[in-house]
């Protein structure tokens, strides 16, 4: 299964935001061990670096990003993706970019703590981390 992790799931893990971090970490572990194919949107990586550097320092943020780049593939953000996101029905532009970026790499599902932010997904399922773990049998 090809999964795109929302920024909030990754930040929950990296910043140990309980109670959300445990399921997110298990999803990330499933990607790392090959149980699922994992993707991050390119903008997610920059956001993660920025927010973790503010929270735990630049060196730690760089280590986190390096680890993520070893585990996940990156879904691109191009002008065409941004244009599609801009005219989409999504209420939030950032979520629309994530969705369109995921479409570009043919993901099966988005893993997010906020599934209601992705109401109109046309062929891409939206799941909370715990739901994906059940689907994967973890």
Helix %, strand %, coil % of the chain (to 5): 60, 15, 30
Per-residue pLDDT of 11-41, as tens digits, reads: 999 999 999 999 999 999 999 999 999 999 9
Per-residue pLDDT of 2-13, as tens digits, reads: 999 999 999 999
- Asked whether 82 and 75 are in contact (CB, 8 A), the reply is no
Say what the pTM is. 0.92
Least confident of 8-22, 41-55, 79-93: 79-93
Question: Hey, where are the domains in the chain?
Answer: 2-136
CATH architecture under which domain 2-136 falls? 3-Layer(aba) Sandwich (3.40)
CA angle 109, 115, 118 (to 5 degrees): 75
């Amino acid at each position: 299964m090809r999964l795109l992790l929302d920024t909030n799931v990754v930040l929950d893990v990296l910043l140990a935001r309980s109670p959300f971090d445990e399921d997110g970490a298990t999803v990330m572990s499933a990607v790392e061990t090959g149980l699922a194919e994992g993707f991050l949107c390119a903008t997610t990586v920059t956001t993660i670096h920025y927010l973790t550097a503010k929270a735990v320092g630049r060196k730690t943020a760089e280590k986190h990003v390096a680890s993520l780049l070893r585990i996940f593939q990156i879904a691109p953000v191009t002008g065409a993706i941004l244009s599609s996101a801009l005219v989409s029905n999504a209420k939030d532009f950032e979520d629309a970019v994530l969705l369109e970026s995921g479409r570009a790499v043919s993901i099966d599902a988005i893993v997010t703590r906020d599934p209601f932010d992705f109401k109109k997904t046309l062929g891409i399922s939206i799941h909370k981390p715990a739901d994906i773990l059940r689907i994967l049998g973890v």
